[in-house]
Structure 1
């Protein structure tokens, strides 16, 4: 069953594929713990042996590469990183930052057409010796850095003209804002007059309500006074009848 299990193998091809994917993603011992959780138990050493025995497809020869330095220990020791810019992946890590090492690596990898690098002279020398036919270009970071420095120098040489242009622009903006305020002043005045008119109307209604309330209160009190007098008169009549 070549599609299911290899000769003399203890695992099916599908199980080997799953465990190898786990091991490549997280490593030996973490892969062993995860495999046990997924009901595919294997020791960390077994997973590492599977990686060593695995057959991987040989990567295509790079055509456009990027070279830069990286720190083993920042400020003390640096190495060189080489990336395939077309496939966006790291190809190799070199132990030092040396022109001979870069030239030797480039000599072992023919077919490189473009080398993107920083402004370090050692990489320029290594690329020239190892791949003399390759075009050397600045990488994106250093290209933008160079552009920023050039713009800063250009603006610095014409500082007075730039300052005058800025003042003229500010004056123009102030003039435009003033014109806008003048155009919008008339509707604002009309709206303010309408608000004042409505306010006066509300205040007059409120005063009228207060007057009606006061009049109703006086009427109520007068009526209550009449009722009290009538009740007193009735009580006096009843008292006279009893006395007679």
Structure 2
């Protein structure tokens, strides 16, 4: 079968210490995985099951540059997150085995058009327009799992030099093994899948000219500038 047109190649993320890059297949995100963040937005803390949503690979954006202020919003927020990169197939995997399918970890930003998300939530609609948009899934280079073991590391976000988010990975409601195990009940996970694992309290709006700097201790830091709207 002849294709009518060509599609862009799959986006890929640099890997620390490797010449090759990590191609991205899918992007999964978990919401309200830090209790203080859920409460700051007026949401109940749900400990029954993780809350999942997706971003298209086209939303992926490598850090280190400038992105335009997103279209269609007047209230775009930063959300600093630890990103897990899957490196082996996993389906209905037990939490005890889940860390064995992790390829690596990275700093990431789940950019959110908060006004659109809130409008959708108020009507009981999906969050797609608030979460899934170009440059909405920012990521720094991936550190292989052999060089990083998630635990008590701090996760922070500074906006124009002022620290806005400051938490520890152990504050997650759902641990990384629990997230992978739960997601693998719903999907056949495979290499190329990214999991954004939630954000600590302190999220807030961005404006043109802002510089965002995100860190997870032990990983390559993230830096991004917000440009003017297109």
Which of the five TM-score ranges fits, normalised by the shorter chain? under 0.3
Structure with greater proportional helix content:
1
So what's the TM-score if we normalise by structure 2? 0.18
Greater length-normalized contact order (CA 8 Å, ≥ 6 residues apart): 2
So what's the TM-score if we normalise by structure 1? 0.18
Structure with greater proportional strand content:
2
Instruction: Return the index of the structure with the highest Cα Rg.
Output: 1
